[in-house]
Structure 1
Amino acid sequence: MKIENFDTGLKGQKDIKNIIISPEENFNNKKKVREYLKNIVHQGPSKLNDNLNRYFSTNIKVNCFHPVNEFTGIENFKTKFWSPLFESFPDLERREQVIIGGTFRDKIQVGTISTLSGTFKKNWLGIKPNNKMVNLRCCEIHEIKDDKIVESHILIDVMDLIFQTGVFPLKASRGAEGNWLHPINTDGVNFFEKNPEVSKLNLDQALTMQRSLNIKPELDSTSDEDLKSKLINHPQAEFWHDKMIWYGPSGIGTARSLEGFVDNHQLPFRKTFKERNYWKLGHYSELGDGKFSLTAGWHSIQATYGSNHWLGFTPNNKNVTMRVMDFYHHDEGKIRENWVPIDIAHILKQIDIDIFEMIK
């Protein structure tokens, strides 16, 4: 089974001039975005107007998780995202786990994994508060230009929050639920990589592994046992560390080892979405930064919901698109860890499952 080599980035872009920045510039960009986001959260609603205007373009384009979704402009950013967040979690704090920077084509970007912690005091998105401390798993990619953020992609795991309040609208996850771990044996926040070749090699490894996923043994497998065997002996196996961890979104959960990854996510996902195109639109972000890399698509995966193996809902052959990010940690020549936020509520909405109606 040969891995095809093809462009995984956004389609339809012509005459794009690739930007190249120095490792020092990249490190400073990461520090800058980290400071922006920390100040907004820690200085709170009293400084919100000042901070949003200081750090973001007036016409900021925001791409959020369902049901917040997509909009433009600082005022919308305030009223649709930040103000409700502060009202519901008045003692909000931010803790970072991973910060990755770099350039993709003509864009300078910084991606982050963080946890927003606070006491859940007021209804948020229709989710009833439990008056307890909760942890919001938050993954973001920000494009910066002239020291301001001009476009943001934000995925908060709302399903995880629902589970934390003691409500379980989905069947039990195949994988393990709970907080994602920090990168093993390394600092994912303050690192500085001065050799661009290291960053490039790790991004190339992630992209080659992703291209291997286009090899689809589910199309001719005779049983679950046969498909599992083919996925464990799939070309992807070359890229995963023996002690790999795949950190999935709530509803899917976290898996350990390639076998765990196949059992808990890949096998049911591939059986449900046999008809799928990973790169019909392509990635809007592909970054390599030292031992880390990042890829992301906004509606890049297009698929047909064809069976109940994934999350258990009745198949209806609806077409869906997926909002997804992949953060990778490369270690000992392999992919050691993979953090994968997916907008589960958005996928379910497209197959006529409204998770927010279910929990009322």
Structure 2
Amino acid sequence: MPIQQFDTGLKEQQGVKKLEITPEENFNNKTKVRGYLKTIIEGGISKLDQNIENYFDKDVKVNCFHPVNEFEGANTFKEKFWLPLFEAFPDIERREQIVIGGTFRDKVQVGSVSMLSGTFKKPIFGIKPINKMVNLKCCEVHELKNDKIVESYILIDLLDLIFQTGKNPIKPSRGSEGNWLNPINTDGVNYFEKDMKVSEASLDQSLTMQRSLNIKPELETNSDEELKDKLINHPQSEFWHDKMIWYGPSGIGTGRNLEGFVDNHQLPFRKTFKERNYWKLGHYCELGDGNFSMTAGWHSIQAVYGSDDWLGYKSDNQNVTMRVMDFYHHHEGKIRENWVPIDLIHILKQIGIDVLELIKD
């Protein structure tokens, strides 16, 4: 079956004139946003008001992981996100692993994967502290306009934090838990790619692979063995490196090579979400930058939770939406690594599993 080619971006933004910037401008934008976030983290609570005023639009739109969720306004951003973060982790540090920049349609955007590391001193979002160092997987997309951030998307893996406190409130992960690796054999943060064709090819490869996922052999068979074989030999296999790693969120875990990806995530996911639309609303971010690319959707996936295969919980055919980002590293002509933050606590809540209630004593 051929891979269909279609626009995967936000549907209501069709026809928007594409903004073009030079590689030098892109590198400067990445440096600028990195500097903003570094200054905020290092400045802490004492300089928070000034830093937020300097770097964020007063009406900034913010889209966060559950339970922070969606809101507008710089002051609300301070109260709901930054203050709880600094109070819980007073010695917090930010260590970047990947920084990707570019434009999507009429927007200048910078995405990143980083680790927020600090001593867990006070409760945050109902999670009790352990007075030990913890690491927060943090993935972000920021839109830059007139030298200020006007919209932010932030996914922090709270399940991973919960696991680090010694609690395991949900069904066991099929994949491997733990910190995500840095990109293999390269710097994912400070690179500069002058050849725009390299960046365009990276994004084209990831988007074509994603479109191939619309080919659904799970609709034709109920046998796990047969479905696994069809997924291993699926058109997606053309795009994945033989030594690929799929870095999933806590609760799903990481899988190595295509078979590990299929076993740990894709096969049970496809069986549970046979009724799904990857681009019901579309991506708000699609960037190619050197040998990296990324896409992101805020409720871009809408699906019916149709079985207990994926997360292990009983199905009542609940309708769910998903907050997802995908960061890709392209190596030796294929996709070598894929970092995938998913707001799993948000998904679980939609099927009646309130993780933050489960960890209450």
TM bin (shorter chain)? over 0.9
1:291 aligned onto 2:288:
no
- Counterpart of 1:219 in structure 2: which amino acid? L
| Seq. identity, % | 74
In 1, Cα distance between the equivalents of 2:15 and 2:173? 45
In 2, Cα distance between the equivalents of 1:56 and 1:319? 34
Tell me what 2:308 maps to.
308
Tell me what 1:128 maps to.
128
1:216 aligned onto 2:232:
no
Tell me what 2:278 maps to.
278
In 1, Cα distance between the equivalents of 2:216 and 2:43? 49
**Secondary structure of 2:19 counterpart:** coil
Tell me what 2:201 maps to.
201
1:107-166: CA deviation from partner (whole Å, max 9, x where unpaired): 000000000000111111001111110000000000000110000000000000000000
Tell me what 2:68 maps to.
68
In 2, Cα distance between the equivalents of 1:223 and 1:318? 23
Q: How does 1:228-247 map to 2 (within 5 A)?
A: 228-247=228-247
Stretch of structure 1 that moved more, 203-212 or 309-318: 309-318
In 2, Cα distance between the equivalents of 1:269 and 1:64? 23
- Counterpart of 1:264 in structure 2: which amino acid? N
Tell me what 2:173 maps to.
173
Tell me what 1:256 maps to.
256
- Counterpart of 2:318 in structure 1: which amino acid? K
Tell me what 2:346 maps to.
346
**Secondary structure of 1:41 counterpart:** helix
Q: Describe the shift of the 1:184–1:51 C-alpha distance in structure 2 as closer, same or farther (beyond 3 A).
A: same
- Counterpart of 2:281 in structure 1: which amino acid? L
In 2, Cα distance between the equivalents of 1:12 and 1:30? 27
**How far is the alpha carbon of 1:30 from its aligned partner?**
0.3
**How far is the alpha carbon of 1:14 from its aligned partner?**
4.1
Tell me what 1:323 maps to.
323
Tell me what 1:50 maps to.
50
1:69-89: CA deviation from partner (whole Å, max 9, x where unpaired): 000001100000000110111
1:57-109: CA deviation from partner (whole Å, max 9, x where unpaired): 00000000000000000110000000011011111000000000000000000
**Secondary structure of 1:48 counterpart:** helix
Tell me what 1:108 maps to.
108
Q: TM-score, normalised by structure 1?
A: 0.99
In 2, Cα distance between the equivalents of 1:222 and 1:308? 14
1:265 aligned onto 2:245:
no
List runs of 5+ in structure 1 lacking aligned partners: none
List runs of 5+ in structure 2 lacking aligned partners: none
Tell me what 1:36 maps to.
36
- Counterpart of 2:185 in structure 1: which amino acid? N
CA RMSD of aligned residues (A): 0.6
**Secondary structure of 2:246 counterpart:** strand
**How far is the alpha carbon of 1:345 from its aligned partner?**
0.5
**How far is the alpha carbon of 1:281 from its aligned partner?**
0.3
Q: TM-score, normalised by structure 2?
A: 0.99
- Counterpart of 2:25 in structure 1: which amino acid? E
Stretch of structure 1 that moved more, 337-346 or 163-172: 163-172
**How far is the alpha carbon of 1:179 from its aligned partner?**
0.3
- Counterpart of 1:351 in structure 2: which amino acid? I
1:159 aligned onto 2:179:
no
Which 4+ stretches in 1 moved above 4 angstroms?
A: none
In 2, Cα distance between the equivalents of 1:223 and 1:260? 18
**Secondary structure of 1:12 counterpart:** helix
**Secondary structure of 1:266 counterpart:** helix
**How far is the alpha carbon of 1:12 from its aligned partner?**
2.1
